[in-house]
Structure 1
Amino acid sequence: MILNRDFYQRDAVTVARDLLGKVLVHETEEGITKGIIVETEAYMGTKDAAAHSYKSKPSGRTNVQYKEGGYAYIYLIYGMYYCMNIVTNEINVPEVVLLRALEPVEGIELMQKRRGTDKIKNLCSGPGKLCGAMGIRTDNYGMDLCHSQLYLEDKTYPKPIEILASKRINIDYAKEAKDYLWRFTIKDNKYISVKVN
């Protein structure tokens, strides 16, 4: 079952936790790829110094963050890696969840071809890696996750999930926000990007 709008129309921290165990799906001309979400980070907009929408108004790449929850916010970092975020909450509350890692479950050969590696643990163990494996780029920016070929499925994770909360990665510039425990991972999952301390 595809997740509906109501799922996304909550605060980013809540959605970030609840996304763990859900399945990201991308249907493309090359084929379908799927991965279980095993690591997320919440970015809480105007009250979060690490967020792109902190102290800003809707403009340029952040425009989609001001829509209602359930849209894809994609951007390029270091001029070479794409990152996929999911817009959450209500209109004009610019919160997002960054997808940091997936456990590949379908279309693995296509993922390997896209990433140029046969190491399954390395296919989606980071924001840039998962976008590469899933074929997600800036042309997916603004896609409605409730009505497009990029969406999330609510499936039962094979075992009970224990969630770990930790500090977010690579945001040392964000003053006190760098210490917020807004990174969420499935405990003992081998596909996460960085081991939880």
Structure 2
Amino acid sequence: MYGNCFLLLRYSVMVLNPNDNFIDVKTEPESFSLSEQENSSYPLQPPLVIPKGGSSSPEEHTTYIWDNFISKSAVKNVAFIVHGYGGLVFINLLMQRTAEVMSKVCGVALIDSTHHTMHQTQGNPQVCTWIWKHCQEWVSNSKPLDRPLGYLVKMDCPTVSTGTEKYCLAPSFALQSIFKYLKNTLKTDTKQYFTRSQSATQSKRMMKKN
């Protein structure tokens, strides 16, 4: 469902799978080559489970995908939708690749995120300011959808209600609101980009005339 909605808005979609961190050799023998078996420091004894290369943890998986796919793409505006622990993982990525993420990501929708800004960023003012400007969190709450909840939760970014107290239903309840938010962040970012481009073009024309 998420993918279809994104496609209707002409977005390209990449779905990360940060929770798939291990290979079960018994059920996925084709995923574990002989060379890996010879070089593995993990003895192949029951239960025959080894960490996946580049994906042994949610944090490593996300950084690997960023380094090998997202950062190398020609896309200039990237948006993230993260749920639960995914929020902590995104802030970890932000701290690991600060300059790249801040220049390429236009908006982040957090849903019941378990991140801790002050702890993860060590109070870095530049990063904290970026989070406030480019992130918004939806929290499971019975108040109507998009009702501000700043006085109830951490104040590291604007926070609103999902319209339900059920954690598992929060993403679907907030989905349309999230799309609207990300669309607005893209518009703002694009508008700023074109304004800068027009200013640069006008400056060049004035220099030529002189």
Name the TM-score, length of structure 1 as normaliser: 0.24
Please identify which structure carries the higher strand content. Answer: 1
Larger relative CO (CA 8 A, sep 6+): 1 or 2? 1
Larger-gyration structure (1/2): 2
Please identify which structure carries the higher helix content. Answer: 2
